């Protein structure tokens, strides 16, 4: 392959690897096949519909997140206040752009991440409250965008042991393809599905390792069946 060239003196690793790969690719076949995309790219119910919000509630609960349904955004702050109080939270971190109305009734002390808190300070707070970019009902997932003002840099939703995440119905989609399509891949993203867990002991899922061990999701929007 390479190296046999009479004038080649020093070949960089990059050139050599690429030359090998080109030769190998040509030998093995360079015709790109048409990719069959017959799978579903839209979900069974439209984004934000009561059906997808109900399904998200089920899938989140199944993976040990606690879901709190509220009818509209006015009820968010009372719910967050309850969650933090019942968990005994005295201090929590919030991203700089968290809507102030979500915290109106909260009595625990908020530490805004502005200027950015040190890792030691993050480790000393009891909880974090964030929004979410999108949530996927089929899989029980919400996605945090580190550049969204109400979600904040990745460290703040990682180091504290208790995460409270507010998800708006309008941001809930049914399927993974719809979720992926709404995200900006140039931003740092974290897909979260339940509290931290491991399958490393006898291949069964156990909750609670290095990430937040407690996860509460406040889901804002109407449900299909009256409660």
Partner 1 sequence: MTTDLGMPTVASDPYGHLRGSESFPVAARRSLADTQLRQNLGHATRTIRAKRAGVVAEVDDWEELRRAGEGVKADVMARLPELLVQFEEAVTARGGVVHWARDAVEANRIVVDLVRGTGVEEVVKVKSMATQETGLNEALGEAGIAALETDLAELIVQLSDDRPSHFLVPAIHRNRSEIRDIFLREMPDVDPELTDEPRLLAMAARAHLRRKFLSARVGISGANFAVADTGTISVVESEGNGRMCLTLPDTLITVMGVEKIVPTWSDLEVFLQLLPRSSTGERMNPYTSTWSGVTPGDGPQTFHVVLLDNGRSNVLASPDGRQALHCIRCSACLNVCPVYERAGGHAYGSVYPGPIGAVLTPQLTGIRGTDDVSASLPYASTLCGACFDACPVRIDIPHLLVQQRAAAVDAHTRPTTQDVAMRAAAAAMSSPGRFSLVERALKLGRLIGRSGRIRSVPGPGAAAWFGARDMPTPPAETFRQWWARTRGPSS
| Region near partner 1 per CB under 8 A, out of 15-23, 71-79, 87-95, 101-109 | 15-23
Interface residue with partner 1, options 47, 76, 196, 219 (CB under 8 A): 196
Binding status of residue 211 toward partner 1 by CB under 8 A:
yes
Interface residue with partner 1, options 125, 127, 166, 189 (CB under 8 A): 189
* Residue 204 to residue 142: CA distance in whole angstroms: 23
Tokens of 207: 């909750």
**8 A C-beta contact, residue 144 and residue 98:** no
Residue-wise over 157-180: b if at least 16 C-beta within 10 A, else e?
bbbbbbbbbbbbbebbbbbbbbbb
Closest distance of CB 180 from partner 1, Å: 4
Binding status of residue 200 toward partner 1 by CB under 8 A:
yes
Q: What are phi and psi of 52, to 5 degrees?
A: -70, -35
Site for partner 1 in 105-164 (CB under 8 A): 116, 119-120, 123, 136, 138-141, 146-147, 153-155, 158-159
Number of H helices, E strands in the chain: 5, 12
Interface residue with partner 1, options 73, 87, 197, 223 (CB under 8 A): 197
Site for partner 1 in 16-35 (CB under 8 A): 16-18, 20-25, 27-35
The sign of the torsion formed by the CA atoms of 38, 41, 46, 52 equals positive
Interface residue with partner 1, options 45, 93, 192, 220 (CB under 8 A): 192
Interface residue with partner 1, options 8, 71, 78, 209 (CB under 8 A): 209
> Which DSSP helix (H) or strand (E) runs through 29?
none
């Amino acid at each position: 392959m390479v190296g046999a060239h009479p004038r080649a003196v020093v070949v960089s690793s990059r050139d050599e690897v690429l030359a090998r790969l080109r030769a190998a690719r040509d030998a093995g076949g360079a015709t790109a096949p048409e990719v069959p995309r017959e799978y579903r790219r839209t979900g069974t119910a439209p984004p934000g519909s009561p059906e997808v919000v109900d399904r998200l509630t089920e899938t989140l609960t199944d993976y040990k997140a606690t879901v709190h349904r509220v009818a509209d955004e006015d009820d968010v702050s009372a719910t967050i206040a309850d969650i933090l109080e019942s968990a005994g939270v005295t201090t929590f971190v919030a991203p700089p752009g968290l809507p102030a109305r979500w915290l109106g009734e909260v009595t625990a002390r908020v530490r805004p991440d502005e200027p950015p808190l040190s890792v030691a300070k993050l480790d000393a707070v009891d909880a974090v409250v964030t929004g979410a970019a999108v949530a996927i009902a089929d899989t029980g997932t919400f996605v945090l965008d580190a550049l969204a003002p109400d979600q904040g840099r990745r460290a703040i939703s990682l180091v504290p042991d208790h995460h409270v995440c507010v998800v708006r119905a309008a941001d809930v989609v049914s399927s993974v393809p719809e979720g992926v399509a709404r995200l900006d891949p140039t931003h740092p993203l974290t897909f979260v599905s339940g509290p931290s867990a491991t399958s490393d002991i006898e291949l069964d899922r156990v909750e609670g390792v290095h990430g937040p061990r407690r996860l509460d999701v406040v889901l804002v929007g109407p449900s299909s069946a009256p409660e």
